[in-house]
Amino acid sequence: MKTITVQEAASMIPDGASLMVGGFMGVGTPHRLIDELVRQGRRDLIVIANDNAKPGVGIGKLVDAGRVARTIASHIGLNPETQRQMISGQMAVDLVPQGTLIERIRAGGYGLGGILTPTGVGTVVEEGKRKIEIEGKAYLIETALRADFALVHAFLADYTGNLSYALTARNFNPVIAMAADTVIATADNIVPVGLIAPDHVVTPAAIVDYLVANR
């Protein structure tokens, strides 16, 4: 793990990169990284996240600035700008049931080719997907998802990069941290090693590539 500035972190991410971004309606999103990506003018990004937050918040800022070419999300209902760009054809949007999205990401991080889920059977979600029956019950084959970068936000990070999360700001964060080639973390608090008890480490430092220094 290497400690870097937020400017260095954002500059590692090229135009066109695929990003998994933690957060649920902006709660648990690495806001400083998003702001810096917008400031540095990064574009044509593929954003995989639960939602697109709302205009002016978190991922919504990338959308506002027209920097997202494609998003894979479960819910965009609170971001009218995403819906506008989807309808105008400016942004591609893949809508995925929330439980399926998180499991596809988990599969990507856990070395699985995909998952079998009953969610979506008999709906438009099953279009173009393989369906199999196991012990009389129908399941869809949903393929694994990975990304170039995971942008993770934690409550605590220690100097080695161990992470723990706070309350509902955990959401997608520990799962995306397993599913990307490069993991960049921000944290509300960076603390000395030992202050996060081993039992309370949720994301082990060994998989965190970069920790963004606090101001």
Binding-site ranges for other proteins (CB under 8 A): 24-28, 50-51, 53-54, 73-78, 83, 86, 95, 97-100, 102-103, 106, 117-125, 155, 165-175, 202
Smallest gap from residue 11 Cβ to other proteins (A): 28
Smallest gap from residue 38 Cβ to other proteins (A): 20
Of 42 and 153, which has the nearer Cβ to other proteins?
153
Beta strands in 118-179 (DSSP E): 131-134, 137-143, 147-158, 163-164
Of 27 and 65, which has the nearer Cβ to other proteins?
27
Of 173 and 186, which has the nearer Cβ to other proteins?
173
Smallest gap from residue 76 Cβ to other proteins (A): 5
Task: Using CA atoms of 106, 168, 40, 210 in order, give the dihedral in degrees to the nearest 10.
Answer: -60
**DSSP secondary structure string for all residues of 45-108:** EEEESSB---TTSTHHHHHHTT-EEEEEESB-TT-HHHHHHHHHTSSEEEE--HHHHHHHHHHH
Of 7 and 168, which has the nearer Cβ to other proteins?
168
Smallest gap from residue 144 Cβ to other proteins (A): 13
Of 18 and 71, which has the nearer Cβ to other proteins?
71
- 212: enclosing H helix or E strand: strand 210-212
Report yes or no: 164 and 196 within 8 Å, Cβ to Cβ. yes
Smallest gap from residue 15 Cβ to other proteins (A): 26
Dist. CA 147–CA 19, nearest whole Å: 6
Of 6 and 178, which has the nearer Cβ to other proteins?
178
Q: Which residues lie across from 93 on neighbouring strands? A: 71
Using the Cα atoms of residue 132, residue 133, residue 134 and residue 138 in order, give the sign of their dihedral. Answer: positive
Dist. CA 37–CA 21, nearest whole Å: 12
Smallest gap from residue 69 Cβ to other proteins (A): 18
